[in-house]
Amino acid sequence: MKSWLKNAVFYEIYPQSFNDTNADGIGDIKGIIEKLDYIKDMGFTAIWMNPCFDSPFNDAGYDVRDYYKVASRYGTNEDLRCLFDEAHKRNMHIILDLVPGHTSVECKWFEESKKAERNEYTDRYIWTDSIWEDVKGVSGISGSLRAISDRDGSCGVNFFSSQPALNYGFAEVTRSWQCAVDSEAALATRGEILNIIRFWCNMGCDGFRVDMAGSLVKNDEGQKETIKLWQEIFTVVNKEFPQAAFVSEWGEPLKALRGGFDMDFLLHFGPSHYTDMFHSNNPYFNKDGKGSAKEFFEYYMNTYNEIMGKGLICIPSGNHDMARLAYYCDETQIKLVYAFLMSMPGVPFIYYGDEIGMRYLPGLKSVEGGYGRTGTRTPMQWDSSVNSGFSTADSDSLYIMQDPDSERPTVQKQIKDTDSIYNELKRQIAVRKSVEALQENAGFELVNDGYPLVYIRYTQESKVIVAINPMDKEISVEVGDIAIKNVIYSFNGSARFINGEFSVPPMSASYMVLE
């Protein structure tokens, strides 16, 4: 594991909506630099920055036009280099968002690939032999682009129709237009991704979050060839950049970590039941006690036991593709969710604005391919000034409209309120960073996955028992014969060991060192 990931806590920044310094209504890199001290003071050690490369922004930057150039709306390559430098001065790290599965239709590679004459990009994308043949029955391909150029053939797309799929080959070749994973064309695509990684790591980037990491090789049952592809990439990357860290959007840690990733997210899709905990209409962290954590922990424990010591499982508060945490949880529940996130193994990720309980705004007009996700990408709310301090632009010029509620939470208000979500999370991060038994690689033993939630984190030197009760009534559970040495964190009271039972106050969380 990369040394700087030890005790890391990540902050996800959606750059369009974070901080605008040039009054154009769109956040920028200089705005992130301006807020680095805020991020560090919260206790965060690292930043994941959503796509910042040149793009027509049909999908908010996940449609890359030029992987080697910062989008002008955010600044320049030199601005990004400055951001890396300023973060490093503060002993912080920054990973960028890499989109290896597809490009924009405006990417020069695709413009060349569309030409009837053969060239080095002809096979960079997945084309059929004939315009009359669609790309069908291929996992990961959502449709085709047809009759878009003089070239004969249909081109597969990965997601939106503006995102043609890059060609990494087919694990099982079933048609004449499909190439093998070791073909010249597939290896050329892989080589270009390596060059992109090299370019930004040489600039000072500390690694990447990799979009749709498990989708590269097509017709790949069990994703065996995709895993092998990443193993080969990381064999090179780890030698050239031994401290560069990679987290995958795969949602299956057993596969991602086998491929060589340092970390994998539990996601709102996939088998993890992550949304059962706090991103559903009936979450475990509901005070009525009608939610369930059992399926989540069944998956989590099976995975944890398999990958122990091989990499990290990341549990995020949310991300740019999900309704915000505050959509499902009230202020007290959010604090309990954070008590959970800050005491679990792996690396926690907090989405910008979640630290102050920013709201999800349903029903907003789609912006740059956001659709239902647009309401979770609204401008950061800093203070009581114009546009909540996000931008001095006219409000009609903002990238996305701001929460119109006059009582909307702001950083300024939450810092002043000692009982705020912001200050509770700051306390929890500080405790996590000061107690080795709560950190990323400390052991984990699940004691109770009902109500209350109880588990033990441990090292050879110490054990910490965590008790979280989202319910609005006190509840007890048998935990065996334990002795509590001292309480190192509590919210709404700490659990007590009485007559052989562990009694946990309503809507409370506590971390306690065991004798």
**Which pLDDT score is estimated for 501?**
86
What type of residue is 478?
E
Residue 438 within a domain: no
The answer to whether the pTM exceeds 0.95 is yes
In CATH, what number is assigned to the domain containing residue 479? Answer: 2.60.40.1180
Q: How many residues does the chain have?
A: 515
Q: Computed over its alpha carbons, how large is the radius of gyration of the chain?
A: 24
344: three-class secondary structure by DSSP: coil
Instruction: Examine residue 470 and say whether the peptide bond preceding it is cis (omega within 30 degrees of 0).
Output: no
User: Which of these three, 392, 415, 433, is where a domain ends?
Assistant: 433
State both tokens at 400: 């996305």
**Which pLDDT score is estimated for 372?**
97
Say how far apart CA 284 and CA 278 lie, in whole Å.
Answer: 6
Residue 463 within a domain: yes
Residues 272 and 372 in one domain: yes
What type of residue is 320?
H
State the chain's maximal CA–CA distance in angstroms.
82
In CATH, what number is assigned to the domain containing residue 213? Answer: 3.20.20.80
Task: Tell me whether strands 10-13 and 53-54 are parallel, antiparallel or unpaired.
Answer: unpaired
**Which pLDDT score is estimated for 81?**
98
Residues 88 and 106 in one domain: no
Cα separation values, 439 from 204, 416, 431, 454, Å = 26, 28, 10, 17
Residues 90 and 117 in one domain: no
Closest CA to 143 of 117, 161, 125: 161
Task: Tell me whether strands 349-351 and 443-448 are parallel, antiparallel or unpaired.
Answer: unpaired
Q: Which residues of the chain have pLDDT under 70?
A: none
State both tokens at 345: 């193994």
Residue 495 within a domain: yes
Residues 199 and 50 in one domain: yes
Residues 417 and 453 in one domain: no
Residues 473 and 394 in one domain: no
User: Which of these three, 139, 167, 195, is where a domain ends?
Assistant: 167
Dihedral angle sign, alpha carbons of residues 217, 222, 225, 229 = positive
State both tokens at 448: 């109770």
469 strand-pairing partners: 508
CB 29 within 8 A of CB 74: yes
497 strand-pairing partners: 502
Residues 11 and 153 in one domain: no
**Total domain count, the chain:** 3
CB 45 within 8 A of CB 6: no
Residue 175 within a domain: no
Cα separation values, 376 from 317, 412, 423, Å = 12, 20, 22
Return the number of other C-beta atoms located less than 10 Å from residue 411's C-beta.
21
Residue 286 within a domain: yes
Q: From edge to edge, which strands make up the β-sheet containing 496-498?
A: 475-477, 501-504, 496-498
CB 368 within 8 A of CB 57: yes
Residues 242 and 363 in one domain: yes
Strand stretches in 78-160, DSSP E? 93-98, 143-145, 155-157
**What is the SS3 string spanning 372-417?**
HHHHHCCCCCCCCCHHHHCCCCCHHHCCCCCCCCCCCCCHHHHHHC
Query: Which residues fall within 8 angstroms of residue 462, CB to CB, at 6 or more apart?
Result: 435, 436, 437, 513, 514
Q: Which residues of 381-393 are buried (b: 16+ CB within 10 A; e: fewer)?
A: bbeeeebbbbbeb
Residues 223 and 255 in one domain: yes
Residue 362 within a domain: yes
Dihedral angle sign, alpha carbons of residues 441, 315, 302, 260 = negative
Cα separation values, 231 from 117, 225, 253, 311, Å = 34, 10, 14, 14
**Which pLDDT score is estimated for 481?**
84
Residue 371 within a domain: yes
User: Which of these three, 381, 415, 433, is where a domain ends?
Assistant: 433
Compute CA 360 distance to the chain's CA centroid, rounded to the nearest angstrom. Answer: 17
Q: Where are the alpha helices (DSSP H) in 176-259?
A: 184-203, 224-240, 253-258
Residues 58 and 128 in one domain: no
**What is the SS3 string spanning 245-260?**
EEEECCCCHHHHHHCC
Residues 198 and 52 in one domain: yes
Residues 405 and 318 in one domain: yes
Closest CA to 18 of 279, 354, 325, 341: 354
Residue 179 within a domain: no
In CATH, what number is assigned to the domain containing residue 133? Answer: 3.90.400.10
Look up the domain containing 88 and give its range: 3-100+186-433
